[in-house]
Structure 1
Amino acid sequence: MKKNIIYLTIAIGVGLVAGYFIFDGSAKDPMINKDSAEMSDGHDHSGETSNQMWTCSMHPQIMQPEPGDCPICGMDLIPAESGSEGLSPNEIKMTKNAMALANIQTNVVGNAVGETGNATSLSGKIVENEEASAVQASYFDGRIERLNVNYEGQEVRKGQLLATIYSPNLVAAQQELITTASLKESQPELYKSVRNKMKLWKLSESQINSIEESGKVRENFPIYATVSGTVSEKMAEEGDYVKQGQPILKLNNLNTVWAEFDAYENQISQFEKGQEIKMTTNAYPNKEFDATISFIDPVLNTQTRIVTVRATIQNKNNLLKPGMFVTGKFEGIEPSGEEQLLVPASAVLWTGERSLVYVKTNPEEPVFEMREVTIGSRNGETYTITDGLEHGDEIVTNGTFTVDAAAQLQGKKSMMNQTGGKTTTGHEGHTGMEQANTEASGNSIDHTKMNERIDVSTKFQQQLKQVFDGYIDLKNALVNDIVDNAQQAAERIEKSLSKVDMKLLEDEKAHKHWMTIQKELKSSSNAISLSSDIKTQRDHFKHLSAHMISSVQLFGVNQKAYSQFCPMANSNKGAYWLSLEKEIQNPYYGQSMLTCGEVRDTFE
C-alpha cells in the first residue's frame, strides 16, 4: 500500500514538471506562438470562405453562393474570381476557365507588307448579258392566233416559228398585191410600192411571190425568230391583240453572262479594265471560273459609296444562271510595299457602321477592352487596319463574339452597346433565378440595342414582315431537323427580299443600312436554299440571324419577337436567333438539345 502511494506521488511530480517545461516553453517560443495564432486566426475567419461565389463558365451572369449546376445549360458551376479591382469602367475580366472553354485566343498585332492584289475578294451576282439580249416584236397589227413558246426558259433557234398572227391590214395588203400584179405593166410604180410595203412587214420575197402567184389571200402569217437564245420573258399571250412593233418575247443568249460586283470607294484603284478574275459560286464549290473585267461604272453611288465592277464570263455549258451569287478573287496587282497593320478577319466585329476589336490591356491577366477601328481593304482572311490599333497591341483573334457577350452582360461598352451602362426597360425573358443571381453578383444584364430604331413607312414594314415570316419558317424547320423545309423557307426569303422596295426608304441612313443588310440576307438565304446538309444550313443560319436581328432592330416588323442566344452554338462561340415564342426551341441543335439557350432581348 505504501509502495503504491510512493509510485503515485512520483508520477504526479513528473507530470507537473513536464507540464511546466512544455507550456512555459511554448509561451517563450515565438514559432510555437505563431503557429497557434495562425490556427486560431484560421478558425476565427472561417466565415470568409462562405462568401465564395460560384458561376457558369458559359453564362457569367449566373452567381450562386454554393456549387451546383447552371440553371440555364446544366453545366457544373466553377468558383468565380474575386472582384475586378483596378479595372477601368470599360474593361472586362474573364475567368481562365471561361477563356479555355470558349477557346479564346489572342495575337500581337504586327506590321506587314501588304499584297493587296493577291487576296482581294468581292461579292457579286450573275446577271444577263444585255449585249446578247433581243426582243422579238410583231411587225404588224393583229391578233395572236397561236403562240408556239409555252414557258420562260425555253430554248429558241434562229428561224424557228414563234407565233402566227391574224392581221386585217396584212389581208388588205395582200388583196392590193393581187390587184396591182395585173397592172404591173401599165403601173409599175404602184406595183413596186405595194411589194415594198409588205417587205417592211418582214415578209420575204418568196412569201410575196407565193401570194402573187396563187392569187389567194392568207389570213394568218407566221413570225420567225431572228436570233437564237433563251426565253427570259413572255410579253404577250395567245389571243392577245398586238400593235406593230409591240414586243412578244424577250430572248437572252446565255453563252456569255455578266458578273456584277460591288466595290467600295477605297478599293477602286485596285481594278482596271481587262483585269483577270477567278470566280467561285456555292453551286459549284470545287470549280473556278475565269472572267475579265469589261466595265467599271464611271459614277459612284453617293448613298452607298459603291461602284459596280462588271466582268464577262464565257458560259457555253450554261452552268452559271442569272441570279446566282458569286465571289470574285482579283489577282495580279503588285504588292503595295507599304507597312500595314494586318489582323485576321475573325478578330473584327462589324455592326454595319462600326468595326470593333477587343484589346488585351493586361498582359498578365485576361482583361479586355473594346476598341473601335477603321478598316481598309480585306485581303483574303485578313483586314488592313488604318486607325485604332498600334504595332504591338494584343487583340482577341478567336472567340471575339464570346468576349463581347461577356462585356454586354457586365454593362460594359460592346458591339450592341456603344456607351455601356445598365438598361432597365424593354428587355424581358429572364427567370427569377437569373435576376436574383445577377443582383447577388452586383452586375446588371445589358441588352442595349445595337442601333436606334429608324422611322420607316408602314408599307416598307409590311414588305419586311414577309421576309421575317420566311425567316421564322426557316427557324422552325431547323428546330425540327427538316432539311427540305429549310431549303423551301430560304427560297421564300429570297423571293420576299426581291419584292422589298428600297424607294420606300426616304432616309439616307435607312437606305444605306438596308443596302448592306439586304445583301447579307440574300447571300445567306441563297446558300441555305442550295444546301441539302443541315449542318451547313445552320452555319449560314447564324449569319442570316445576325442580319435579320439588325433589320428588326432598325426598322421593326409590327410583331413581337424574342432575341435568343445559345452559348454552345458556333463551336462554343455562341449564336443568336429570333423567335415568336418565349420558350426556347434551339435551331442550332434541333431535337438533340432543344431547350439550350436563353432569351436575351424582346422586340415589341
Structure 2
Amino acid sequence: MKKYIIYVAVLAIGLVLGYVIFGRSAEGSINDKKITDMSENVSHSEEHQMWTCSMHPQIMQPEPGDCPICGMHLIPAETGADGLALNEIKMSENAMALANIQTTIVGNVSGTDDNTMQLSGKILANEEANAVQASYFEGRIEKLNVNFTGEEVRRGQLLATIYAPTLVAAQQELITASNMKESQPALYNAVRNKLKLWKLSESQINQIESSGKVRENFPIYATVSGTVSQKMAEEGDYVKQGQPIVKVSDLGTVWAMFDAYERQISQLKVGQKITVTTNAYPNKEFEATVSFIDPTLNTKSRTVSVRATLNNKEDILKPGMFVTAKVATSQANKMETQITVPATAVMWTGERSLVYVKTDPNEPVFEMRAVTLGTKNGSVYTITDGLSNGEEIVTNGTFTVDAAAQLQGKKSMMNATGGKTMTGHEGHLGMQEDSSRKNTNEANHSQMNERIEVSNKFQNQLKQVFDDYILLKDALVNDNGKRAQQAGKQIDQSLKKVDMKLLSDEKAHNHWMTIQKELKNSANAIENSSDIASQRGHFKHLSAHMISSVELFGVNQKVYLEFCPMADNNKGAYWISLEKEIKNPYYGEDMLTCGEVKATLQ
C-alpha cells in the first residue's frame, strides 16, 4: 500500500510541476499574442488617426497640434468607421424618405447595344393632321358646345351656334328673290350662291325658302374628327368671318421630334427605321420611320431636328411625352450612348454644373460631381462629360443632399473644397467676414455661390419669408414652442405668395423652385410639431436653405451668419440673425450665448 501511495504522490507532484512549467508558458504566449494583436490594432488605428479642430472641423491633419485658424489644440477626428471617402455623405433611410430623395440610373444600363445610337426627344401633335374650325360669317357666339381642351369631336358634330346679322339680311333677300325667280332667275341664283359661300347646305337654303321665315341663329358643324387642342373663342364673343373658333388635332398619328448632334447626322437618313420607347410604357416599343431631317443646323445647340411619324390608334402616346429612339448604326461609325438627366438633378453655381452620384448601390451614400451640360430638350439635359453609363444620381431632393453635405463639411455647391465652415473670404460675393475673425489662413476656403440678379419685387416677397424666419428664430431663442408653430405657419403662407413668374432667368427659377420646396417642408414640420427639440431639428434644415436663398437672391438687408458648434449633438448648426449679439435658437436660455458670428451677408 505504501508503494502505491508513493506512486500517486509522485504523479500528483508531476502534474503540478507540468502545469507550472508548461501551462504558464502557454498562457503567457497566448497573452503575449493578444497584447501583440492589440498593439498592432492600436498602431494601425493610430496610423490612420486624423486630428481636427472642434471649432473648425474643416481642418484635418495626420498628427496632433494646434489649429492653424484659431490656435486651439486639435482633437482626434472620427476614424471613419462608416467607411466613407473624404467627400462622401451618408444619409439615413428616414431622412431619405422625409425629403423624398429619389435616384435614377442614367445611360444605357445594359450596355449591349454597341451598334445603336440613342436620340432623346418628345411627342408632338401631327401638324399635318391639325385643322382650325373657323366661323364662315360675322356674328356673336350664342352657344359653344366645346367645353374644354382635350375634348373629342366628330365630323358633322355641332360646334357652335352664332347669331349673324348679315345672314338675316341675306335670308330676306332669298325670300324676296324666290318670289321673282321666274322673272329674274339670275338674281335668284346669285342670292342662293351667296348663302352657299357661307357654308349653308342646299337643304338649309330650301327650308328657308319654303318656310318664308328668317333664322337668327346658325349652326357651325365640325368638318374633321379629332381632339380639341385649343379653344380660340368663348360664348358671347363677337367673331369676324374666317376667325378661328377651335383648333382640332387628329392624334391618330403623332410626331416624335428628336435632336441629333452634328457627329450623328451622317448616321441618319429619311426612310430609316427606328425603335421608339417611352418611360410611360417601358416594356413597349414603337416602330417608326424617319420622315424629315431639318435642313438647317441650330447654331446654339449644334443639333438638327429629326422627325418620325408614329401610329397612335390606341391613343397611348400623348403630346409632351419624352421618348428615346434607338437607331441602328454601322460598326465602323457606332455612336456613344447619350446620357440624359432631368433638370431637377442639376445644380448651377454660375461656373459649375453639379450632380450628386450614389456611390454605393446598397447604401444611401452620395458624392458631389461636376458635369458638363450639352443641349436641353424640354426639362432634360444631355451630359457630355462627368457621368458614365449605368451610374445612379439624385434626381429629386438634390438641394437637400447638398444641404446635408454643407452641414457635414463635405464638398457642396457652396463649398468646392469641403470644410464644415461656411465663413466667407474676400472673394465671396455679397459676404464680408466679421473683422474679429479674419485670418489669412482662411483664404483657401471655397468661393460662395454667385449672386443671381432678380427683381426688387421678388426680393420683397422673399423678404417677407425671411421676416417670418426671424420670428421663428426668436421664438426658439425664447423657448416658445407655440410661437414657433405659428411662425412656421406664417412662413408657409408667405411662400405661397412668392411669384416664380418674376424669375425670368432659368437658373434662378430652378434654384428657387427647389429651395421653396425644402423651406415649405421644414416650415410644415415645425408647424405640426409641439416638441421644441423636434422644432429645433427642423430649424437647422430650414436655416440651411434660408441661407442659400439669401446668398443667391438677397433680401436688401444686412444680416449675420452665426454658428453653434455644439448644436445637433456637436455636429454644429447655422442660423441667420439681424443682430451681431449671439442669441442661440438651438439651446435658448440653457446656453443663450453659445456660438459665434461667422460672416456678414450684405
Q: State the TM-score, normalized to the length of structure 2.
A: 0.49
Q: State the TM-score, normalized to the length of structure 1.
A: 0.49
